[in-house]
Structure 1
Amino acid sequence: MGQDNFVVDKFKSLDPVTRWVAIGATAAALLLLPAGLHLAGTFTQPPAAKQAVKPAPKPVEATAVTSLGRLEPLGEVIKVSAPSAQMGQGIISQLLVKEGDRVSKGQVIAVLNNRQRLEAALLKAQEDVRVSQSNLDKVKAGAKQGEIGAQRAEIDRLKSQLQGYRDTYVATKARLEAQLKWEPAAQAGRIASLKAQLAGEKPTQEATLRRLRSQLRNTEVDYKRFQQLYAERAIEATRLDAKRLEVETIRQQIAEAQSKYNQTVATLNQQIIENQATQQKLTSTAQQQLAEAKANYDTSVATTNQQIAAAQATLNKIAEVRPVDVAGAQAELARAQATVRQAQAELTDAFVRSPVAGEILKVHARAGEAPGTNGIVEMGQTSQMVAVAEVYESDVRKLRVGQSATIKSESGAFTQNLKGTVKEIGLQIGKQDVLNTDPAADSDSRVVEVKIAIDPSDSTVVKGLTNSKIAVTINTK
């Protein structure tokens, strides 16, 4: 209330002119207030056309899926190894294929060095079958003096066979030890002869070179003197030409002598190296043969002793024929037959065969080497190549079997665009193997492998490019 009185008193204190100006300004402000409010609403409120919400544009569906991938033969690359029973034991004796060879299904790729031992084991097992069958027949026939005599003869035969094994081994051992002694010595003599020949040839030919070079220096001095005389017109041009020809002839002789010297030294050095390698090989081969002969002898002796013991036991029981004896003989025959089947299976494992028809892509182990974790060879059916595309898991839903695809090389291994058709869409999501060259690309992308059969006309272009990096475009229209 006090404030209201203050305003009234203040208004009354104004002079009349000022009071009328204040009253007019206030009235004008009150009159213009509605118009101002109306205009403010007009500018702040958007027109009805602007308030309408436009519909969002429909997303454009991509008509193709792109990805990186690799090339591989139909059925993938197969690593052919030695049978599991031979891994870490067998050494390759013969490798019958090389890279680029085409092989048929079941074709022998390699032969392991235990083939001869396994063949001998099979022969022994077959012999055991024959012995067991003979024993069974004798048991069934009953005790006869003739059978007893025959059994004794069988024992004598086995003992004679055992003695034959011993005699053969002693002779083989003596021969190999003699060979191990004189063959390296003979080879050493040849090496010494070659070294002596080299030591004799070098000084002789070096002396020839020194003589020719000295002769060349003297002839060149004469030639310069002839040039001076010719310049002074003291001699004819023909004498100067003759001296120049003499210089060129000596130079040619030096070149030929130097070439002969180099060739002689290189040839003799090569022969020395080859003879040294032969000397080492002969020693190694003889030692290996000696070890194999000892192993075969030990096996033969052990087997024959077992046969003698079995034959002796049969002789002791032959007078009495009982059902249990027949059953025992039948069991022994069955065991021997099982041993034959096992020996046949083991011998089969000494021959490494191709599991499918295809082409040899890579050789990992050669003759004299033991197959490692990579096996002996890698092979594949390169007559039909396949593109393996690593498609992002978000794009897999767009793919269907039968869609067309275009394959390009990422490395320039081939220039033309290859055509193909989607034939298989993987069912498992994994980590990306083929990495993008873009440093900003995600190296931990989750992808699905999609296999694309390349058209036969294009497949021949890339049959030698297994694992080559490619870019794949799959048409999803």
Structure 2
Amino acid sequence: MSGGDTPATDPTPADGLPLIDTGKGARKSKPSWCLAPSPLRLLTLVFVLLIGGVLGLYFQGPALRAVFDWTRLDPGAGARQPIALPVDRVPSSERVAAMATGDVVALGRLQPGGGIVSVALPQGAGDARIDRIMVTVGDIVAKGDVLAVLDSLALYESALTSAESTLAIRRAALAQAKVQVEATEAELDAQIGGAEVTLAAAERELARVRSLFERGTTTQAVLEDAERAADIARADLGLLQASLMRYRPGPDGQQVDIALATADLAAAESAARQARRDLDRAHVLAPQAGTIIDVAARAGERPPADGLLRMGDTARMEAELEVFQTMVPRVAVGQAVSLVSGVLGDAPLTGTVARIGTLVGRQSVTADDPAANTDARVLLVTVALDEASSARAAVYVNLEVVARIAVAAPAEGAAE
């Protein structure tokens, strides 16, 4: 090694043994971005992420909407107090219109005017089963029409036949009693007439014999025979007259035999009426006019406890809306309402607010997502559809719809 050269590092130690290179030689310097982050940088990063999340939720860009579509979550569904309907449940046109005008948007369902009527079995039907169903879904029926026949019909028909036979017998007995009374009365009248003639003759004979006895031309025995004959004739007449009184009308205006037959007939008529009412227990009758919406059982089955059929007046359809309790003060009777659904096409249904409920309840029309809010507090608002919309909605009972209630803008003076 020359004197001007820099001495080289000798890899051999003083003991003469070579060393293995472990790579732990001189450390190289790291870039600036690998240095430990400062607290200010962490706060800045958290702030940027927070602002980005809020802006993303507010504007709901395509990427965020894709995330919600993929996860099937409803924005705001996890909140205790809902702030709006799920975005994907409300058509974009309705959202834009509601935001521009301040209208109230609510979910609801279509139903017949007056609601759906569940037709149960008649009272006293017992454990009867269905023998025949007389209607099908979509049939229009009038009040009192037979909807179904139960298997107890034969039993009630037999009881009615027996009651009607008894009724016929009682009617014949009354007619017979009237004829007998008339005949007996005529016969007694004739007998009384004959008894009166006999009595008159006996009294004349008694008068003649008494006159002869007084003149001494007849005996006491003859006089006593004449008196006895007159007494017998008088007694016979009294007996006939008493018998006739039995066939005369009494204080109530009726002869006793006829009154008895009339009472028997009334009892038979009452039994027949009861048998006819019992016969109705084997028939399920329509409680009102309307359309058959659903049949819940078939022939041979026992009707379910919640009703055999469901029907309603689909000629005048309504919509039952669930309006959040905070929005109800903005709703008034008579406000115009439009209802949309993917099933109904582009043309919305129209109607007006008819009734506003007073009982606050839980929301029942919600999204199918298990994360959807089901604890919202709502009031029921009933919307009466116009004639054209009612005809369209008649085939979609219980269809879920989105309604927009047109809220009148406050006057400028009131706003000031």
TM-score, normalised via structure 1 length = 0.45
Unmatched tracts of structure 2, length 5 or more = 1-98, 185-245, 409-416
CA contact (8 A) 2:122 2:283 kept: no
* Equivalent residue, structure 1, for 2:322: 390
SS in 2 for 1:423: strand
Q: Which residue of 2 aligns with 1:306?
A: none
Which residue is 2:360 aligned to? 429
Measured in 2, the distance between the counterparts of 1:70 and 1:465 equals 9
**1:68/1:436 contact within 8 Å kept:** no
Alignment of 1:121-140 (within 5 A): 121-136=159-174
1:282-431 → structure 2 map (5 Å cutoff): 329-409=261-341, 412-416=342-346, 417-431=348-362
2:400 is the counterpart of 1:469: yes
State the one-letter code of the partner of 1:97: V
State the match for 2:144 in structure 1: 106
1:67–1:471 contact (8 Å) kept in structure 2: yes
Does residue 444 in structure 1 map to residue 375 in structure 2?
yes
Cα distance, 1:331 vs structure 2: 4.1
How far apart, in 2, do the equivalents of 1:438 and 1:402 lie? 34
When residues 93 and 62 of structure 1 are mapped into structure 2, their CA distance, relative to the original with a 3 A threshold, is: same
Q: Compute the displacement of 1:343 (Å).
A: 0.8
Give the structure 1 partner of residue 117 of structure 2: 78
**Is residue 2:94 matched to residue 1:94?**
no
- Which is bigger in relative contact order (C-alpha 8 A, separation at least 6)? 1
Give matches, 1:204-219, under 5 Å.
none
Q: Distance in 2 between matches of 1:431 and 1:418?
A: 26
Counterpart amino acid of residue 471 in structure 1 = V
Note the C-alpha offset of 1:437. 5.2
Per-residue deviation, 1:446: 2.5
More helix by share: 1
1:16-40: per-residue Cα shift (whole Å, max 9, x none)?
Answer: xxxxxxxxxxxxxxxxxxxxxxxxx
Cα distance in 1 for residues equivalent to 2:280 and 2:165: 19
Structure 1 residue 475: deviation in Å?
Answer: 1.0
Q: What is the deviation of 1:473?
A: 1.4
Q: How does 1:155-304 map to 2 (within 5 A)?
A: none
Deviations 1:288-321 (A, max 9, x none): xxxxxxxxxxxxxxxxxxxxxxxxxxxxxxxx99
Distance 2:369 2:139 in 1: 38
| RMSD value, Cα | 3.2
Alpha-carbon separation, structure 1, partners of 2:166 and 2:309: 37
Letter in 2 for 1:130: A
- The one-letter code matched in structure 1 to 2:164 is Q
Instruction: Give me the identity figure in percent.
Output: 36
CA contact (8 A) 1:87 1:371 kept: no
Compute the displacement of 1:68 (Å): 1.4
Deviation at 1:445, TM superposition (A): 2.4
Q: Would the alpha carbon gap of residues 142 and 461 (structure 1) be closer, same or farther in structure 2, given more than 3 Å must change?
A: closer
**Residues 364/439 of structure 1: CA separation in 2 closer, same or farther (3 Å cut):** closer
CA distance in 1, matches of 2:338, 2:291: 25
